[in-house]
Amino acid sequence: MTVALSLVLFALAFCGAFLSGLVGVGGAIVMIPLLYYVPPLLGAGELTIKDVAGLSMTQVLAAAAVGTWSHGRHAFVHRRLALVGGSAMAAGALLGALLSSHVSGRVLLLTFAMMATLALPLMFVSPAEPTLAPDDPAALPFHRATAAGLPGLIGLVAGIVGAGGAFLLVPVMVGVMRIPMRLSIGTSLAMVGMSALAGFIGKAVTGQVPLWPAATVVLGSLSGAPLGGRVSRRVPVTVLRAVLAGIITLVMLRVWVDLATG
């Protein structure tokens, strides 16, 4: 790995992790296209889509772990919901990651584009915003079957494409499960951390995680995620929703254009 590629990977991981802490995504919605398009654009080298998927899963794991810690310190993690949903999501992600070694690069991109397209309209569903004491997130009830079933399915698809799945999970939690936005951000990161660990193991044992690029990505993630978490607590919920919707829209359009013209 060249010095130029190392610097580019560090910078991209920092940006992805910052967004992870800011809006509760693991970072894959941004990292997958950035890792795939930016290094060759800057003349720093080129990564295969399977290398990108492995590096993205590595970045998601690191960013989600730090982001969960950051949001959890301020009581924005629903621990019971995270355990139920995260366990199901991890099982799905492990299966998806193991299956991904038999999936073509074009199918990976197509699956990613479909996930982004599905996530976008959910961001515009008005969520319930019950009064909730910041120090008592466990007081908010949830439906266990829904909390396990939807994250499990998201984890399966996310494991295939190398994502943690939070860019789809947050809209589902807000629009379907009716969890308040700030609590969804922190709780989704906890779920995604469990999912990403399982997905990382699946990709690592099938040889889809390049070692030194992965180490560089982890360093960048550990730097960016805490900063994003601090900024998130100071930004209005409407702005957080708009930022996440904007990110999903831009990435979705770019990937669909590439699939159509490729």
pLDDT at 130: 47
From CA 73, how far away is CA 167, in angstroms rounded?
Answer: 22
Residues 205-220, mean pLDDT to the nearest whole number? 89
pLDDT at 131 over 70: no
- For residue 199, what are the contacts with CB-CB under 8 A and spacing of at least 6? 57, 60, 61, 93, 94, 96, 97, 155, 158, 159, 162, 164
**Tens digits of residue pLDDT in 5-30:** 999 999 998 987 887 777 766 567 77
- Can you tell me which residue has the tokens 């590595």? 58
Q: pTM for the full model?
A: 0.71
pLDDT above 70 coverage of the chain, percent: 90
Tokens of 94: 């492990």
Confidence of residue 84 (pLDDT cuts 50, 70, 90): very high
pLDDT above 90 coverage of the chain, percent: 12
pLDDT at 40: 93
